[in-house]
């Protein structure tokens, strides 16, 4: 390891510390730098909006509209348990999720029947879904059904009833990329 010889050992010898002490100090400096970078990254990221869910009758008819503003589908996935086909549009951190019913008696089928097409829910990314659920329950948010449960993209998700979120069906999505631990 040539770097040990070039820089690390000279100051250690000057201070009379051992090579081990010097390595530990270097490690601490690296950790501090990592922490600073994490803080800068989360400041740049802002509100971690994962996606907006939009209920549609036929995703194929909707795709050209979003393609016109540069949003292309990058994942189509059926979530059989919810009776829904999800199409994620766009790249990067935040997406638009088109929700198309696989059968009329599904939750999205019911939503379309009652409310028609339009914004269905807003989803925020969280690093630890269990901890967030605990805090949300304590704050009086009402959880829909079983939580957390398996959502699209292999992620664990949970929903909160709109009547406890001032009219918004709110979803949280666990995204390990949000985590600080390495
Ligand atoms: Zn969603």
Q: What's the pLDDT tens digit per position in 79-134?
A: 888 899 999 999 888 999 999 999 999 999 999 999 999 999 999 999 999 999 99
Q: Which residues contact 18 (CB under 8 A, 6 or more apart)?
A: 12
Distance 81 CA to ligand 1 centre (A): 14
Distance 34 CA to ligand 1 centre (A): 32
Residue 137 has phi, psi (to 5 degrees) of -60, -45
Distance 96 CA to ligand 1 centre (A): 9
Distance 114 CA to ligand 1 centre (A): 19
* Residue 35 pLDDT level (bands cut at 50, 70, 90): confident
pLDDT tens per residue across span 49-65: 999 999 999 999 999 99
Distance 158 CA to ligand 1 centre (A): 9
Q: What is the mean pLDDT of the chain?
A: 87
Please name the CATH architecture into which domain 49-178 falls: Roll (3.10)
Q: Which residues contact 139 (CB under 8 A, 6 or more apart)?
A: none
Distance 67 CA to ligand 1 centre (A): 20
The pLDDT of 151-160, averaged and rounded, is: 91
Distance 44 CA to ligand 1 centre (A): 23
Query: Which residue, 162, 164, 170, is CA-closest to 140?
Result: 164
Q: Is the pLDDT of residue 170 over 90?
A: yes
Q: Is the pLDDT of residue 6 over 70?
A: no
Q: Is the pLDDT of residue 180 over 50?
A: no
Q: Is the pLDDT of residue 72 over 50?
A: yes
Distance 76 CA to ligand 1 centre (A): 13
Distance 38 CA to ligand 1 centre (A): 26
Distance 104 CA to ligand 1 centre (A): 19
Cβ burial 104-119 (10 Å sphere, 16+ → b, else e): eebbbbebbeeeeeee
Percent of the chain topping pLDDT 70: 82
Q: Which two tokens stand for residue 132?
A: 């967030």
pLDDT at position 182: 32
Higher pLDDT, 13 or 19: 19
SS3 102: coil
pLDDT at position 49: 93
Domain ranges of the chain: 2-45, 49-178
Q: Which two tokens stand for residue 61?
A: 């008819």
């Amino acid at each position: 390891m040539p770097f040990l010889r070039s820089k690390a050992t000279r100051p250690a010898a000057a201070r009379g510390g051992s090579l081990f002490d010097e390595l530990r100090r270097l490690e601490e400096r690296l950790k501090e730098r990592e922490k600073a970078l994490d803080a800068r990254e989360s400041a740049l990221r802002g509100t971690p909006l994962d996606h907006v869910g939009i209920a549609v009758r036929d995703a194929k008819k909707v795709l050209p509209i979003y393609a016109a503003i540069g949003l292309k589908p990058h994942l189509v996935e059926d979530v059989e348990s919810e009776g829904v086909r999800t199409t994620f549009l766009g790249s990067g951190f935040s997406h638009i999720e088109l929700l198309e019913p696989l059968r009329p008696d599904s939750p999205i089928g019911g939503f379309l029947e009652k409310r028609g097409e339009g914004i269905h829910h807003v989803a925020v990314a969280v690093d630890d879904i269990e901890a967030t659920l605990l805090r949300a329950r304590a704050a009086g948010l009402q959880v829909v059904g079983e939580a957390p449960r398996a959502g699209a993209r292999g992620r664990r998700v949970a929903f909160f009833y709109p009547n406890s979120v001032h009219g918004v069906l709110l979803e949280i999505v666990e995204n390990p990329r949000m985590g600080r631990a390495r």
